[in-house]
């Protein structure tokens, strides 16, 4: 199997997993979605929970009728049985900042169970329209909790698009914060990917150029946000191309594989250095 991990997908059914791996190999991490978004609740466990090369990030609904404590209890039950390696929080989709007190039990739980906390950050999705929603999805408050919970890792999804400077500031100032480039191409109108890639590269490049490559290259991961052919989120190779345009080939193993193993310590229970499950 090629050394590659897609750190951010929404492969929430067997069908989507088969579709995704039709033309490629490697591993993928699936983000469980809120039921109010595209989620299918605990059904995801039956669907994909036992597939060897798929790992799962659970999610917390900060505004559910079920308390956060009870949601964590439910996750705990599934922790040993399934390959849960992190917990996703949907900032912006929900009106809450990453450093809200309400979320502290989630970070404590991650600390106790060696899990990574992942955030939706930035615009990056068609549903975030208002200025207010976008404010909630900022990565800046993550710096505060990353210092407080320095034993766990945090991931800023989507490079906090378009706030690349904020994202770079938080990942370079905090050893336990990582980011991915997933979700940059919400291609609902079938625009040629070449145009989308050029556009994204030209936007992010000035921010990246302010840093020494050695200070950032251990923190950036390949991710897609894949949600099926025709979903508007179906690019995969395009993200690999983007990374190859942005960074020299010598760093490929880092952004395609090794950084993800570092960002998700729990992955090493399943993927060994010799690359066997
Ligand atoms: Zn996503």
Residue 260 has what pLDDT? 97
Distance 11 CA to ligand 1 centre (A): 10
pLDDT at position 127 is 59
User: Ligand 1 centre from 203 Cα, in Å?
Assistant: 21
Distance from residue 236's CA to the centre of ligand 1 (Å): 13
The candidate with the shortest Cα–Cα distance to 18, out of 57, 47, 56, is 47
The reported pLDDT for the residue numbered 1 is 54
Q: Would you state the structure tokens that stand for residue 169, as one six-digit string?
A: 């500031």
Measured in Å, residue 233 CA sits from the centre of ligand 1 at: 9
Measured in Å, residue 37 CA sits from the centre of ligand 1 at 11
Compute the distance from residue 225 Cα to the ligand 1 centre, in Å. 5
pLDDT at 2: 62
User: Encoding tokens for residue 219?
Assistant: 């923190």
Q: Which letter does DSSP use for residue 257 in this model?
A: I
Helix axes 193-208, 164-173, angle to 10 degrees: 50
CATH top class, domain 5-269: alpha beta
- State in Å: Cα 31 to ligand 1 middle: 7
Q: What is the pTM of this model?
A: 0.95
DSSP 226-247: B--TTSS---SHHHHHHHHHHS
Beta-sheet strands, E only, within the chain? 5-9, 27-31, 54-60, 84-89, 116-119, 154-156, 177-180, 220-221
CA of 251 to the centre of ligand 1 (A): 24
In this prediction, residue 129 carries a pLDDT of 62
Find the 182 Cα to ligand 1 centroid distance in Å. Answer: 7
236: which 2 tokens?
Answer: 């995969």
Query: In this predicted structure, what is the pLDDT of residue 187?
Result: 86
122 Rama sector, left if φ>0, alpha if ψ -120 to 50, beta otherwise: left
Question: Do 223 and 182 meet the contact criterion of CB atoms below 8 Å apart?
Answer: yes
pLDDT of 277: 46
> Measuring CA to CA, how many Å separate 26 from each of 1, 52, 206?
6, 10, 31
Q: Kindly provide the b/e burial profile for residues 10-22, where b requires at least 16 CB atoms within 10 angstroms of the residue's own CB.
A: bbbbeebbeebbe
- Give residue 36's pLDDT: 78
| pLDDT for residue 273 | 58
Gap from CA of 59 to ligand 1 centroid (Å): 11
pLDDT tens for the 277 residues of the chain, in order: 568 999 999 999 999 999 999 989 999 999 999 987 777 788 899 999 999 999 999 999 999 999 999 999 999 999 989 999 999 999 999 999 999 999 999 999 999 999 999 999 997 655 566 777 788 999 999 999 999 999 999 999 999 999 999 999 999 999 999 999 999 998 888 889 999 999 999 999 999 999 999 999 999 999 999 999 988 899 999 999 999 999 999 999 999 999 999 999 999 999 975 554 4
Residue 183 CA to ligand 1 center (angstroms) comes to 7
How far apart (Å, rounded) are the C-alpha atoms in residues 257 and 5? 5
Q: How much is the pLDDT for 186?
A: 86
Q: How far is the CA of 232 from the centre of ligand 1 (A)?
A: 12
Q: How far is the CA of 120 from the centre of ligand 1 (A)?
A: 7
CA of 222 to the centre of ligand 1 (A): 13
Domain limits, the chain: 5-269
Tell me how far the alpha carbon of residue 10 lies from the centroid of ligand 1, in angstroms: 6
Structure tokens at 44: 């995801």
Rounded distance from Cα 226 to ligand 1 centre (Å): 8
In the reported structure, the alpha carbon of residue 40 is separated from the centroid of ligand 1 by a whole-number distance in angstroms of 14
Cα 56 to averaged position of ligand 1 atoms, centre (Å): 12
């Amino acid at each position: 199997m090629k050394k590659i991990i897609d750190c951010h997908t929404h492969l929430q059914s067997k069908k989507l997993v088969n579709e995704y791996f039709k033309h490629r190999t490697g591993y993928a991490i699936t983000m469980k979605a809120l039921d109010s978004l595209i989620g299918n609740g605990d059904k995801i466990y039956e669907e994909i929970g036992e597939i060897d090369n798929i790992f799962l990030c659970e999610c917390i609904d900060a505004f559910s009728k079920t308390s956060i404590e009870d949601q964590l209890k439910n996750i705990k039950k599934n922790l040993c049985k399934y390959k849960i390696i992190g917990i996703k929080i949907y900032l912006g989709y929900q009106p809450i900042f990453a450093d809200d007190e309400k979320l502290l039990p989630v970070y404590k739980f991650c600390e106790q169970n060696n899990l990574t906390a992942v955030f939706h950050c930035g615009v990056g999705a068609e549903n975030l329209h208002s200025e207010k929603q976008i404010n909630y999805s900022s990565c800046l408050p993550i710096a505060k909790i990353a210092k407080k919970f320095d034993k766990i890792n945090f991931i800023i999804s989507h490079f906090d698009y378009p706030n690349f400077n904020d994202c770079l500031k938080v990942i370079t100032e905090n050893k336990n914060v990582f980011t991915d480039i997933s979700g940059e191409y919400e291609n609902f109108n079938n625009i040629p990917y070449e145009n989308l890639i050029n556009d994204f590269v030209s936007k992010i490049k000035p921010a990246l150029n302010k840093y020494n490559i050695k200070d950032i290259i251990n923190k950036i991961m390949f991710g897609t946000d894949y949600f099926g052919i025709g979903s508007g989120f179906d690019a995969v190779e395009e993200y690999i191309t983007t990374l190859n345009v942005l960074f020299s080939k010598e760093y490929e193993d880092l952004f395609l594989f090794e950084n993800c193993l570092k960002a998700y310590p729990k992955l090493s229970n399943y993927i060994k250095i010799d690359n066997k499950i």
